[in-house]
Amino acid sequence: MKFDYKNQFNKTVVPEMKKKFNLASDLAVPKITKVVVNVGIGRLTIASKDNKGLVEKISEVMAMITGQKPSIRPARKSIASFKLREGMPIGLKVTLRGQRMEDFIFRFINLVLPRTRDFWGIPLKNIDGQGNLSYGIREFSVFPETGQIQNVPIFGLEVTFVTNAKNKEQAIELYKLLGFPLLWPKNQ
């Protein structure tokens, strides 16, 4: 099943946002500009003897999840108490735009979030003042692409949806219209 993000955006989101926020142009409607997926592997690489192999395995899993090879983020400085040396890989990052971003948004909303354990919705506190939504996932195994992966330690990831919204209210309405399952406070 192909997700048509542009069609849904133009048919439902644009008219509703223009009406609610009194926007003059279709181009003034906020949209998701990119999705950033991060994995912190500092603890895993310090505990592992085969540092290079572990980074490669996690990189392959991230490539499977996002459809794009991640970039390795090295440590900027050494910290002796954490057994961390400058240049050691401590994270992986993928930035998605265009069609890959749209496909990832569809899979995230419709496949990943329902499979997440004890999921009741995305709290509104996860949306910052600029309208960016960050959500952490404890186990990569909730992604259906990772079905039979073995010999990879369980790791979590953080997904950030970056928008060009002017404020938090516009971003909340955008996420609601796109189908994100937001968790509303009890007093509303």
**Residue whose entry in the numeric block shows the structure tokens 């048509």:** 4
Q: What is the mean pLDDT of the chain?
A: 84
In-domain check, residue 143: yes
Chain Cα centroid distance, residue 169: 20
Phi, psi (degrees; rounded to nearest 5) at 32: -80, 120
The structural domain count of the chain equals 1
State the average pLDDT over residues 48-65: 79
Q: What is the DSSP string of 85-102?
A: -TT-EEEEEEEE-HHHHH
State the average pLDDT over residues 74-103: 81
In-domain check, residue 186: no
* CATH at residue 168: 3.30.1440.10
Write the CA distances from 63 to 30, 75, 150, 171, integer angstroms: 28, 21, 16, 28
Expressed as residue numbers, the domain containing 15 is: 5-181
State the average pLDDT over residues 38-52: 71
State the average pLDDT over residues 3-28: 86
Q: How are beta strands 182-183 and 89-96 bridged, if at all? A: unpaired
